[in-house]
Amino acid sequence: KQEVTQIPAALSVPEGENLVLNCSFTDSAIYNLQWFRQDPGKGLTSLLLIQSSQREQTSGRLNASLDKSSGRSTLYIAASQPGDSATYLCAVRGGATNKLIFGTGTLLAVQP
Amino acid sequence: DAGVTQSPTHLIKTRGQQVTLRCSPKSGHDTVSWYQQALGQGPQFIFQYYEEEERQRGNFPDRFSGHQFPNYSSELNVNALLLGDSALYLCASSLVQIRNTGELFFGEGSRLTVL
């Protein structure tokens, strides 16, 4: 059974700092991994999608990496801003299923 | 280009009642999935619809049912509501041709409170 873990559960950093969010999964047989952002009480905004054959994806100040063999992904945020404050969720799509399995998220607070 | 739209945004029900939530997928998408997100948790997969049929189901009781219409929109129905059904219900759409590798797009969710 696929399980997704995100560490840390919460993180507070000063504005301008670079930071890394971690995601680990137990079954390496995945099709893809997706990072989402969720503002309080809102839906999910897709940030980056990494296919199983890829090692990383970049979008603006965000960079996501994937290491299938070790069951890990990281989301790197450069030059953090207060507007980056949100919960960040990672989710994997498994081999025999179309559903996403989510972690419980990392709550990020960027202090001005 | 409208994204995924859900209605209603908020609703309050009492135990034992029934609720229907609605979702319109992103333009061009033909597959709809529903997720339940309890407070402080990650979303949990309920089921997925494609070609008006339920294609896959998560670990949810039969009280949870759904429907997909010819225009690809979808409904989630929950019968005999329990306090534990209080959650944010999220709809996600995708394109079947890239179902296993494609990106999911989520709506803003419907916040259900059961009293």
Nearest to A64 by CA among A98, A96, A89, A39: A89
Beta carbons of A43 and B33 less than 8 Å apart: no
Q: In the predicted model, what is the mean pLDDT of residues A59-73?
A: 96
| pLDDT tens digits, one per residue of B58-89 | 999 999 999 999 999 999 999 999 999 999 99
Beta carbons of B42 and A31 less than 8 Å apart: no
> Which of B42, B45, B107 has the CB atom closest to A89's CB atom?
B42
Q: In the predicted model, what is the mean pLDDT of residues B30-56?
A: 94
The answer to whether A99 contacts chain B (CB < 8 Å) is: yes
**What confidence tier does A1 reach under pLDDT thresholds 50, 70, 90?**
confident
Tell me: pLDDT of B98 over 60.
no
> Which of A89, A91, A99 has the CB atom closest to B58's CB atom?
A99
Please provide the average confidence, as pLDDT, over all residues in chain A.
94
CB-CB neighbors (< 8 A) of A104 in chain B: 40-42
Q: DSSP letter at B26? A: P
CA A14 to chain centre: 20
Beta carbons of B42 and A99 less than 8 Å apart: no
Beta carbons of A98 and B100 less than 8 Å apart: yes
Determine the pLDDT at residue A111.
96
The answer to whether A11 contacts chain B (CB < 8 Å) is: no
Determine the pLDDT at residue B76.
98
Which residues face A77 on adjacent strands?
Answer: A19, A62
CB-CB neighbors (< 8 A) of B113 in chain A: none
The answer to whether A36 contacts chain B (CB < 8 Å) is: yes
Residue B55 — φ and ψ, nearest 5°? -100, -30
> Which of B48, B105, B111 has the CB atom closest to A98's CB atom?
B48
> Which of B42, B90, B107 has the CB atom closest to A105's CB atom?
B42
Determine the pLDDT at residue B101.
61
CB-CB neighbors (< 8 A) of B26 in chain A: none
Pairing verdict, β A4-7 and B105-106: unpaired
User: In the block, which residue shows the tokens 């700092």?
Assistant: A17
